Structure 1
Amino acid sequence: MAVDWFTLAAQLFNFALLLVLLRVFLYRPVLDLMAERERRTAAPLVEARRLADEAAAEREALQRHKEAFERERAERLEAAMREIEDKRAQRLAAIDRETEERRLAAADALERDVRRVADALLTRVSGLVVDEVRMALASVAGAELDQPAWARFEERLRALPAEQRARLAEAARGTVTVMTPRPLPPATADAARVALLELLGARQVTFATDPDLLLGVSLDAGGLRLDGTIAVRLEALERSFATALDIVGEIAPSPRAPATERTR
């Protein structure tokens, strides 16, 4: 079979021309269309991916914001609770101080009242005791006791230390007054003058009476006094009672007691 090279060449040329025409007018537009379609198809995916990334980033930001908010809320709540607890503790401490102050004030007032009543009662009792002793002595004291009373006073005068007797003798250069509850019997008065002249060198002796002395002798020489009467001893007894009351008041235990600590 003979090959028609011209026809073959023409067909090859036509086929090549067809390929060129197809490439130029059909294949390239199709490729461009497919590329455009691919771009159009990929754009929503890219946008969706971008939106997804943005959503994830926003979600993470929201999560961080939520965590920060929770931390801040917890910190504020803790600070508020601490502040409330501090104020509560301060208020309780203030209440404790006020309660303790009121308790101590009440205890002091009660202590003063008790001591005042006790002092008044003991003072009254001591006064009654001294009054009873005074009345008892007044009822038994009489003229028959004046001579023994002077004898006892003379013994005391003789027993004075030399220095004290010298001062008394110096003061006795003037008038010496002998004070008794009742007038001394004449014999006792004479014995008193002799004793005072002997012991003190007293030359001017006067006698006076004071029923309140009850029993005993009081000697006054120029302002110096030597007293041996029951009245003076009763006054000393009253002072001793008063001193004892003061000492008891000082050493008496206080009714205060430590306050019980409030349970927090």
Structure 2
Amino acid sequence: MELDWSTFLLEIVNCLILIWILKRFLYRPVLEAVASRRREVEETLSAAKGLKEEALGEKRENLRLLQEWENRRQILEAELATEIGEMRKKRLEELDSDLEKERAKRLAQEDRRTSEWMRNAENGALEAATKFASRLLARFASSDLESMICNAFLEELAGLDAGPIREMLASRTELLVSVSSAFPLSQKCRDQIVKSISMLAGRELQGTFHEDPEIVCGLRARIGPWVMEANLVEELAFFREAAKNGG
């Protein structure tokens, strides 16, 4: 069989034309479709990757926010616990202070009641003792005892400083010595009393004398604003007041 070169060339040309036709009208659309699909896939993958990175970023942000919130919660809980502890401590201190004040108040009230009771008891005892002493001394009161008191009174007058007494009586133009006694005084005692007081006053004075049974025993002399006591009643009263003040 002889090779026909013209036929061979035509076959080659036909083959090339077929390849061109296939490539242009079949392979190219397929390749373009594949390339388009590949681009879509790549775009989808890129978008998915972006979404993934965005999701990861949001996740990290959310984790960061959650951690911040947790830290803040712990801080607030610690602050709240501290504040509650301080409030509790303050309240307990206030309660202790109130209890202490109430305790001190009650103790003070109890002390006052006890002191008042003791003071009343002491005053009652002193009053009873004074009355007893008054009754007892009244039994021993006599003109002889009163004479002794008169002598003691004159001795006390002799020991007084006349200067202050004269200053006190200087503004008085009229002065009278008034003497009260439980028993009638002897004329000698009366004269000595008026004389002694006149010397202290720096002028001649007149005296009046009268009896006062309430004095029990002793005497009371008054000249203007100046009063001198030398009797059992005043001495007992002085003893009672001194005992009260001392108590």
TM-score by length of 1: 0.70
1:173-216, Cα deviation, whole Å (9 max, x unpaired): 865444221224xxxx2322443465438675443222222322
* Aligned-pair CA distance for 1:17: 3.0
Q: How much does 1:140 deviate?
A: 1.8
- The residue number in structure 1 matching 2:104 is 104
Deviation digits for residues 26-53 of structure 1, max 9, x if unmatched?
4324423433453465465445434433
Whether the aligned pair in 2 keeps the contact of 1:174 and 1:202 (CA below 8 Å) is no
Contact conserved, 1:213 with 1:229, CA < 8 A, in 2? yes
SS, match of residue 208 in structure 1 = strand
CA distance in 2, matches of 1:169, 1:48: 126
> Matched residues in 1 for 2:35 and 2:206: separation?
163
List aligned pairs for 1:98-247, cutoff 5 A. Answer: 98-163=98-163, 176-184=177-185, 189-196=186-193, 198-199=195-196, 200=198, 204-221=206-223, 224-245=226-247
- Any gaps of 5 or more consecutive residues in structure 2? none
Over 3 Å counting, the alpha-carbon distance change for 1:136 and 1:35 in structure 2 is same
3-state DSSP of counterpart to 2:218? coil
1:257 matched residue in structure 2: none
Question: Hey, what's the Cα distance between the residues in 2 that align with 1:168 and 1:30?
Answer: 148
Aligned residues: 240
Match of 1:258 in 2: none
Structure 1's 196 and 58: CA in aligned 2 closer, same or farther, altered over 3 A? Answer: closer
CA distance in 1, matches of 2:175, 2:82: 92
Q: Distance in 1 between matches of 2:176 and 2:45?
A: 145
2:105 is equivalent to residue 84 of structure 1: no
Secondary structure in structure 2 of the residue aligned to 1:228: strand
- Quote the Cα distance in structure 1 between the aligned partners of 2:190 and 2:78: 103
Q: Distance in 2 between matches of 1:96 and 1:23?
A: 103
SS in 2 for 1:220: strand
Q: Which is worse superposed, 233-242 or 6-15? A: 6-15
Contact 1:176 1:202 in 2 (8 A): no
From the superposition, tell whether residues 126 and 39 of structure 1 become closer, same or farther in structure 2 (CA, over 3 Å).
same
What is residue 25 of structure 2 aligned with on the other side?
Answer: 25
Cα RMSD of the aligned pairs, angstroms, is: 3.7
Q: Among the aligned pairs, what percent are the same residue?
A: 23
Matching residue's letter, 1:216: G
Q: Is the 8 A contact 2:177 2:223 kept in 1?
A: yes
Give the Cα separation in 2 of the matches to 1:79 and 1:51. Answer: 40
Shift of 1:234: 1.8
